[in-house]
Homo-oligomer: A and B are copies of this chain.
Amino acid sequence: MDSSKETIRSEQNGTFLIEAQQGNARASRLKTQHGWIETPIFMPVGTRATVKAMLPEELKDLGAQIVLGNTYHLHLRPGEKTIARLGGLHRFMNWSGPILTDSGGFQVFSLSKLNKVSEEGVTFKSHIDGKSCFLSPETSMEIQMDLGSDIIMAFDECLPHPSDLEKIKKSMDLTFRWLERSRRAMTRPESLLFGIVQGGLEISLRKQSLEQITSVDLPGYALGGFSVGEPIEIMHGLVREVGPLMPALKPRYLMGVGTPLDLVIAVDSGIDMFDCVMPTRVARNGTLFTWQGKVSIKRNEYKEDPNPLDSSCNCYTCKNYSRAYLRHVFLSGEIISARLNTIHNLHFYLDLMKQMRQSILQGNWVEFRDRCLTQFVSNRSNEIIST
């Protein structure tokens, strides 16, 4: 046993160990330059070199193991060369754990104006100052290498929903050619390059893209192009079909997803890694996740409610503050509101992932999954009724 542990320790970055599997759901470990991460895993989003409202130490205390940085935002401000001269993104943002950066592709298409796509790359105007910029597989790789990311995402084209089949097909082929250029441009052996499967909402195109992307041998693969406004059932169906077809011995990452229900369905489909702004963004808007559904803390009924948001939750917020206080500081626009709400929501997400992992390791995934699905589907119905 000891010698096998030694073997694991000496494995290079990208080593991926599946510790347990139940149906398609897996519990695994991935080695990065800044340490191992345990999956299924949720990665809090630290767009501009900070997970909004949080300090790195608080993220660690909540059990976060890896955070996401956004290439598009960091390229525009403060610039990757500046960050590189300051010792890289880890030192810059005081985070010693692993970092995954996206390729910038998604933001180019969602945030910037007047983007123009060519074989070479994308020309766009900065959403900050309107300055003209250019991103390509080569520049995206260079930026992510300058940042010193542990996991680097290939540069892909992200289409809006809906797009016609012809367009999706052309875009998918472009994404494949961009992947090959991304791989050639990736010269930093400490980082792991993940390829991104596109193909819109057609299962046949998704499968075709999967085949293209996985024809390039990489340490990990992702499903991109979701969370762009498509009906949630279609996303669930595609993840259920495509997830299990992804290379079994590599980490699988579903980008930009999602709700607690989405996460359980995706883990059940064999997905290992997730990121989403949802828990942090809705926290700042006063929406909090509980096992009984979402709570809008501004509601009048909480005005004098002395109870914690969720009495079964053991996060800092629930252990120390009443619903009445959370409502008061939210309505007053106080910074502590964003802090307390973000702590709670990230705790909810990270705790859910931890419970999923435990249940896979302990062999009771199906029971746990079904309990989650029943609860979350029922919550969703109640929320739809109450809105």
Contacts and interface: CB of A to CB of B under 8 A. Distances in A.
Interface of A: 48-50, 52-55, 77-78, 82, 85-87, 92-94, 303-304, 306, 320-322, 324-325, 327-329, 331-332, 334-336, 338-339
A339 B328 contact: no
Given A52-B335, A55-B336, 12 more contacts: A48-B332, A48-B334, A49-B325, A50-B335, A52-B336, A77-B331, A77-B332, A82-B304, A82-B324, A85-B306, A87-B306, A92-B328
Given A82-B304, A331-B77, A324 B48 contact: no
Contacts of A322: 86, 92
Contacts of A306: 85-87
A80 B375 CA distance: 38
A239 B217 CA distance: 76
Given A87-B306, A94-B320, A338-B335, A328 B53 contact: no
Contacts of A303: 78, 82
Contacts of A82: 303-304, 324
A334 B50 contact: yes
Contacts of A87: 306
B304 A85 contact: yes
B78 A328 contact: yes
A33 to B, nearest CB: 21
Copy tally for this chain in the complex stands at 2
A216 to B, nearest CB: 35
16 contacts: A48-B329, A49-B325, A49-B328, A50-B335, A50-B336, A52-B336, A78-B324, A82-B324, A85-B306, A86-B304, A86-B322, A86-B325, A92-B328, A93-B325, A335-B335, A335-B339
Contacts of A94: 320-321, 325
The 8 closest A-B pairs by CB, nearest first: A53-B335, A50-B336, A78-B328, A94-B320, A48-B332, A50-B334, A86-B306, A82-B304
A306 B92 CA distance: 9
A58 to B, nearest CB: 10
Contacts of A77: 328, 331-332
A297 to B, nearest CB: 13
A329 B52 CA distance: 10
A336 B331 CA distance: 20
Nearest to A328: B78
A226 B31 CA distance: 61
A327 B94 CA distance: 15
A344 to B, nearest CB: 13
Of the candidates A53, A86, A321, A322, the one having the most CB atoms from chain B within 10 angstroms of its own CB is: A86
B332 A52 contact: no
Nearest to A82: B304
B93 A52 contact: no
Contacts of A48: 328-329, 332, 334
Nearest to A316: B55
Contacts of A55: 336, 339
A336 B322 CA distance: 24
A304 B329 CA distance: 36
A346 to B, nearest CB: 14
